[in-house]
C-alpha cells in the first residue's frame, strides 16, 4: 500500500494523546517557545564551512573556500539529454552546475599541513573564505608549517598570498610536484599562453613569489610528510598530484581535481572539462582512480565535491557512484 504525505500527516494528527512521550520534549520545542523572538528570521547566512574527521590517529579538517558555477559549455563530451537526466536524478537545478572549492588541514602529530588554499579574491564574492573559516576552526595561519599543492590553478593556489602580495602562511614550506612547478613558473608558459589563459599563469607566478627560498619540489609516489605520500594523478595539469594520508590501517586520498562535477563524472568519467590540459589523460586517470578507490574501499576527498567533499566511490554497473561520508560524532 502506498502512503501519501497527506494520509500520513492526517494519521499523526488523529493519534490519541496517550501515544505521546511526556517529559521527553524539551521546553525549547514547546509551542510557547515557537512564538518567542529568537532571531530565526535573521538567519540568512550559513555557518562556517568547517568539518573534522579522523584518519586513524591523524585528524583532518575540511575547510570551505566557497563555490562557483560551471558553464555547461565548459564540459567536453557531454550529452545534453543525459546531463539533464543526471541533474534531475540528483534533485539539482537544470540550469546550474555548482561546484565547491574545498581545502583540507591535516593535523599529524605536531605538524599542521594545509592541502590547497582556495582562491582569495580571484573569482568573485562567493569564494575566498578560506582564512575566515580557518579562524572559525581555530587554525592560526602562522601555525601551518606545510602547504601541499595539488596543482597550480588559481582556485587551488591563489589563497597562499594576500591581496597585498605577502605570504598568507608566513611559516609554511610550499610543496609542489616538480613538473607542475617547472610548467607554471617558466617564462615561456606565460609568453606562449593564449590571452584567456594568461591570467591563470600570472596568478600562479605571483602567488609563489613570497615563498622564495621556502619551496620544496617533489617527485610523486613518495612520502612528503609523516603519514602523507604524494600520488601522481596526471592529465588535469602537467604535475597534478593527490595526497594519500595513512594512519592506523585507515587511509584517505585527497585527489585534487580528479572530479570537477560529481553529478556527471561518476556516471561518465570520460566527460572532461576545458580546464584539463590533457583531456584524454585526465579521463583515464579519473577511471583508474575510481577503480582503485572502489576496489580498496578507500576514503576520498575532493576539492570540488560537495562540501565537505568526503566519501567513498562505489561501482554502479559500468559506471560509478559516490557515497558521502556521514558526520563523525567522535574524533
CATH code where residue 269 lies: 3.60.15.10
State mean pLDDT over 229-244.
98
Quote the pLDDT of residue 38: 59
Residue whose C-alpha cell reads 619551496 in the numeric block: 215
pLDDT at 85 over 80: yes
Quote the pLDDT of residue 64: 98
- Residue 15 in domain: no
Measured CA to CA, the distance from residue 58 to residue 301 in angstroms comes to 15
Q: How do residues 177-199 score in pLDDT, each as one tens digit? A: 999 999 999 999 999 999 989 99
pLDDT at 317 over 50: yes
State mean pLDDT over 134-142.
98
From the number of C-beta atoms within 10 Å of its C-beta (0-12, 13-18, 19+), residue 25 rates as: exposed
State mean pLDDT over 285-313.
98
User: What sign does the dihedral 80-82-87-91 (CA atoms) show?
Assistant: positive
Residue whose C-alpha cell reads 576527498 in the numeric block: 301
Range of the domain at 107: 50-324
Quote the pLDDT of residue 282: 98
From the number of C-beta atoms within 10 Å of its C-beta (0-12, 13-18, 19+), residue 24 rates as: exposed
CA 265 to each of CA 113, 151, 242, 304: distance values in angstroms, whole numbers, following the listed order: 28, 20, 17, 11
| Average pLDDT of the residues of the chain | 90
- Residue 106 in domain: yes
Measured CA to CA, the distance from residue 35 to residue 37 in angstroms comes to 7
Quote the pLDDT of residue 312: 98
Quote the pLDDT of residue 39: 60
Q: Give 47-52 contacts, CB < 8 A, sequence gap 24+.
A: 48/132, 48/133, 48/136, 48/137, 49/129, 49/133, 49/307, 50/133, 50/136, 50/137, 51/307, 51/308, 51/310, 51/327, 52/137, 52/328, 52/331
State mean pLDDT over 89-108.
97
- Residue 56 in domain: yes
- Residue 128 in domain: yes
Q: Is the pTM of this model over 0.85?
A: yes
- Residue 262 in domain: yes
- Rounded (10°) angle between helices 178-185 and 195-208: 120
- Residue 17 in domain: no
For 77-139, where are the alpha helices, taking DSSP H only?
A: 80-89, 130-136
State mean pLDDT over 297-326.
96
CA 188 to each of CA 157, 194, 198: distance values in angstroms, whole numbers, following the listed order: 20, 12, 11
Quote the pLDDT of residue 214: 97
- Residue 195 in domain: yes
State mean pLDDT over 48-54.
97
- Residue 167 in domain: yes
Residues 6+ apart with CB under 8 A from 27: 33
Quote the pLDDT of residue 123: 86
Quote the pLDDT of residue 318: 83
pLDDT at 212 over 80: yes
Domain total of the chain: 1
Q: What percent of the chain has pLDDT over 70?
A: 87
Amino acid at each position: 500500500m502506498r502512503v501519501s504525505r497527506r494520509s500520513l500527516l492526517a494519521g499523526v494528527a488523529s493519534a490519541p494523546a496517550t501515544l505521546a512521550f511526556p517529559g521527553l520534549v524539551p521546553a525549547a520545542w514547546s509551542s510557547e517557545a515557537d512564538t518567542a523572538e529568537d532571531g530565526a528570521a535573521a538567519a540568512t547566512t550559513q555557518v562556517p564551512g568547517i568539518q573534522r574527521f579522523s584518519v586513524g590517529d591523524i585528524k583532518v579538517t575540511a575547510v570551505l573556500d566557497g563555490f562557483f558555477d560551471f558553464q555547461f559549455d565548459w564540459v567536453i563530451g557531454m550529452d545534453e539529454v543525459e546531463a539533464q537526466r543526471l541533474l534531475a536524478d540528483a534533485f539539482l537545478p537544470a540550469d546550474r552546475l555548482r561546484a565547491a572549492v574545498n581545502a583540507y588541514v591535516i593535523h599529524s602529530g605536531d605538524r599542521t599541513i594545509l592541502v590547497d588554499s582556495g582562491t582569495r579574491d580571484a573569482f568573485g564574492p562567493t569564494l575566498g573564505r578560506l582564512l575566515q573559516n580557518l579562524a572559525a576552526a581555530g587554525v592560526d595561519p602562522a601555525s601551518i608549517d606545510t602547504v601541499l599543492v595539488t596543482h597550480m590553478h588559481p582556485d587551488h593556489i591563489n589563497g597562499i598570498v594576500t591581496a597585498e602580495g605577502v605570504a598568507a602562511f608566513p611559516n609554511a614550506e610550499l610543496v609542489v610536484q616538480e613538473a607542475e612547478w617547472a610548467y607554471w613558473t617558466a617564462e615561456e608558459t606565460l609568453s606562449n599562453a593564449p590571452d584567456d589563459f594568461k591570467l591563470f599563469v600570472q596568478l600562479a607566478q605571483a602567488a609563489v613569489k613570497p615563498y622564495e627560498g621556502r619551496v620544496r619540489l617533489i617527485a610523486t609516489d613518495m612520502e612528503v610528510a609523516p603519514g602523507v605520500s604524494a600520488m601522481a594523478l596526471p592529465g588535469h595539469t602537467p604535475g597534478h598530484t593527490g595526497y594519500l594520508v595513512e594512519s592506523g590501517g585507515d587511509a584517505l586520498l585527497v585527489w585534487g581535481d580528479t572530479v570537477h562535477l560529481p553529478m556527471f563524472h561518476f556516471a561518465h568519467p570520460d566527460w572532461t572539462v576545458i580546464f584539463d590540459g590533457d583531456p584524454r589523460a585526465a579521463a583515464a586517470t579519473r577511471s583508474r582512480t575510481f577503480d582503485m578507490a572502489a576496489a580498496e574501499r578507500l576514503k576520498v576527498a575532493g576539492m570540488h565535491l560537495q562540501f565537505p567533499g568526503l566519501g567513498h566511490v562505489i561501482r554502479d554497473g559500468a559506471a560509478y557512484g559516490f557515497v558521502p561520508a556521514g558526520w563523525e560524532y567522535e574524533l
